[in-house]
Copies of this chain bind each other. A is one copy, B any other.
Amino acid sequence: MKQQPLEGVTVLDFGQVYNGPYCGFLLSQAGARVVKIESLLGETLRPKSKKDASFYPFNNLNSNKECIAVDLKHSSGKEIVQALVKEVDVVLQNFAPGTLEKFELGASDLLNINPRLIYATGTGYGSREGPYKDFLGMDITLQAISGAMSVTGEENGPPLKTAAAYIDFLAGVHLYAGIVTALLSRNAIGKGSVVDISMQDCAFPTLSTAIGSFYSIGKELPRAGSRHPAKAISPYNVYKAKDGYVAIICIREGHWRRMCDAMKKPELKEDPRFSKVRFRAKNIDLVDKIVTDWTSSLERKEIFRIAQEYGVICAPVQTIPETIEDQHMLKRGSLEKKKLDANEELSFFKTPIRFENLEPPELRLARQLGQDTDAVLKEFLNLQEPDLTLLREEGVIL
């Protein structure tokens, strides 16, 4: 690939927190021009100071976006958006259902203004049909309703969420995928379309193992910690190492045989208690004990190296301070160090959508609230200084 694939595409990004902004981030990293539009207060995630916990994700997700601030509650603000919509290819938003419709900036309003527009929404439950279409949702509540929490946790403990906000990001990349698909369709038929992504829809397929096990066994299974949901595969767990934990999985017979060699216990390969996956499942406690005897004598790095050398699927449980220094991701260019000042730097993630022989645009800290309002309104709408001054005085823009 010789040029950024989305060069020439212009996006108006009403994204908030993770879902919408991640979509805008992916668009921007693929070469689109992304204008982030916020209220005069700034979006939910915009940090008040460098020490806020939201400083990192906000700056990473909104790097390379031009930031404008417009008050939609003001009729002139609404008109500015309507005028901008004529000039862009994509509008994306993940407000609560019905929010933009209140300002006459819903899908049908904007497609009337620009029939070639891609209008893309991300919501908890999809915005177009069904009894929950107007309901609010966030990552944690979608982890609940999707069924994910019910199968996550210790065997005798309560249902548990994972701290990875995975449904937000999963929905964000589906939103990106829908937009790019709609751009391709527009090339063919010349018309825009409405993309409608539901976090609940996106989460459902990730439960495939649990659902398949339920259909197979015919009853609800207890939570299984880090083991296979139906305890049907072993080794498959998180095992104690000298300096933390490692995860190991043997999904095929060959993996188990190589695992025996890696542990320097080749005699186990012939042991009838472990020679087939269903026998190992029956003796799961003993298998886990054998593996733990081995892993607990070594450091994570050593286990990782030996396992991969033998062709066993394994990885260390990395802590957050370790993962942001991950040598592989840094080397691969998936992380980029950004200096904040002499003492501090951040590991910014780049787009996971990578092409051979093409570097994504370099990342930079996010722009301040309204930093690009004047430049964007001048360029897109041909507004002049006096217009901008008036709008600012009237509290329409920042």
Contacts and interface: CB of A to CB of B under 8 A. Distances in A.
Interface stretch (A74-82, A211-219, A362-370, A387-395): A211-219
Given A137-B315, A152-B163, A161-B238, 4 more contacts: A60-B208, A130-B331, A131-B328, A132-B328
A164 interface: yes
A267 interface: no
Interface string A36-60: 0000000010000001111111001
Nearest to A128: B356
B226 A160 contact: yes
Interface stretch (A63-71, A167-175, A268-276, A375-383): A167-175
A196 B354 CA distance: 5
A164 B181 contact: no
A32 to B, nearest CB: 10
A204 interface: yes
A369 to B, nearest CB: 18
Given A173-B174, A317-B159, A354 B205 contact: no
Interface string A157-201: 111111111111111011011101111110111010111111011
Nearest to A167: B166
Nearest to A204: B349
Given A140-B236, A185-B1, A220-B321, A131 B327 contact: yes
B320 A210 contact: yes
Interface string A245-282: 11111011000000000000000000000000000000
**A: interface residue count bin:** 35 or more
B55 A215 contact: yes
A372 B52 CA distance: 57
A163 B210 CA distance: 7
Contact of A189 (B3, B223, B249, B353): B3
22 contacts: A5-B181, A18-B208, A44-B251, A56-B211, A56-B212, A57-B211, A125-B332, A130-B331, A140-B226, A144-B318, A147-B322, A148-B166, A149-B226, A159-B238, A160-B162, A161-B238, A163-B223, A169-B170, A183-B184, A204-B349, A207-B320, A214-B320
Contacts of A146: 164, 318, 323
Contacts of A83: none
A30 interface: yes
Contact of A147 (B1, B320, B354): B320
A124 to B, nearest CB: 8
Nearest to A333: B129
A378 B328 CA distance: 45
A141 interface: yes
Q: Which of A53, A173, A354 has the most CB of B within 10 A?
A: A53
A142 interface: yes
A103 interface: no
